[in-house]
Amino acid sequence: MKAADYRSFLSTHRVMLAPMAGVSDPAFRQLCAEQGASLAFTEMVSAKGLSYANERTAHLVDLYDGEALVGVQIFGHEPQTMADQAKWIEQELGERLAVIDINMGCPVKKIAGKGDGAALIKDLSLAAQITSAVAQAVQVPVTVKTRRGFYDGEETCVDFAHIAQESGAAAIALHGRFATQMYRGRADWDCIARTKAAAAIPVIGNGDVFSAEDACALFDQTGCDAILIARGAQGNPWIFAQISAALKSNQTPNLNELPFPSFEERIEMARLHAHLLHEREPRSVLRMRKHACWYVKGIPGAAAARGMFNTCSTAEDFDKAFDALLSHLSQQEVGT
């Protein structure tokens, strides 16, 4: 797909799974795609790590069986290294690669503190160099994920959008918080609307979408071309089916008509997730500890279950914990 085609692509891929470190691995991407995510991004991948032929980095661009299309996010601050590794990713994934996204929004210290991620918002000249280098190195569209600005109160997203489009970006994804906010407070969707009004390239909205109602409101309030779902999908891959149903109705969603899972369905999805992780790499099932806690949030007996999850190290361990939670639910139903 050429960069010029990305606007058309977004018109049919409006609700996507955001890149999340330690979360959006092949197992989670598969579950979200099955629930209706129109595109899923990998975890962010270190361009420097790839340049060292680091296997622990390269595995982040592995796909699950049947994954026909994927977005890959890379991070770094060296234009040539970013360009070279973007080109390698394109060669490695071929037609399965839909887009390469450049991370210019991650606010965590171990990323931004090294000049990567959100730190690039503070150096728009370098941000432009990186975007241009990557865009010139690959044939697929290149997008940039960023934030409202770096320092609280210093909004730079509109200027950033102009620089990104002049540097060859096919779109920008904008999270409505300043980097120094981390995830505190509420995302400001007005800055997404301002950026959309000013930019010639598509703008993808991001931040605080936890329901179908939120998704519809974000589209309505900002006019954005597509949205990225991040924390709202954690323990809730059904959010994509819910948003899809709401968008198809073309009206304020009726919560009673959306596909909300039962407690039992949530537990069984968590069980499937654990087994998908185990099948790919037995050691990666340890990631399931946090996923399992997300899946069971609000379920009666969840507190005791979380205690069990923290000691699980195999898929079988998780099966026992999920069975115990199901048994607790059954006993409650008998008692009512």
**Where in the sequence numbering do the catalytic residues fall?**
106
- Computed on alpha carbons and rounded to an integer, the radius of gyration of the chain in Å comes to 20
The Cα–Cα gap between 269 and 281 comes to: 19
d(CA 135, CA 167) in angstroms, rounded, equals 8
Please compute, for residue 11, the number of CA atoms within 13 A of its CA located in the half-sphere on the CB side. Answer: 4
Map residue 162 onto helix, strand or coil. Answer: helix
3 neighbors 18 (Cβ within 8 angstroms):
no
Helices and strands, counts by H and E, the chain? 15, 9
Residues paired with residue 132 on neighbouring β-strands, in sequence order: none
The number of angstroms, rounded, from the C-alpha of 81 to the middle of its chain's C-alpha atoms is: 23
Residue in the block written with tokens 């991070």: 75
Q: How far apart are CA 1 and CA 98, in angstroms?
A: 7
- Please choose, from the candidates 154, 198, 199, 145, the residue with its C-alpha nearest in 3D space to the C-alpha of residue 175: 145
- Return d(Cα 218, Cα 207) in angstroms, integer: 9
Spatial separation of the C-alpha atoms in residues 235 and 247, rounded to whole Å: 22
CA distances from 130 to 96, 135, 142, 159, 272 (A): 23, 8, 11, 16, 39
DSSP 304: H
Instruction: Give the list of residues 6+ apart from residue 203 with CB closer than 8 angstroms, or none.
Output: 161, 171, 172, 173, 174, 192, 195, 196, 222, 224, 225
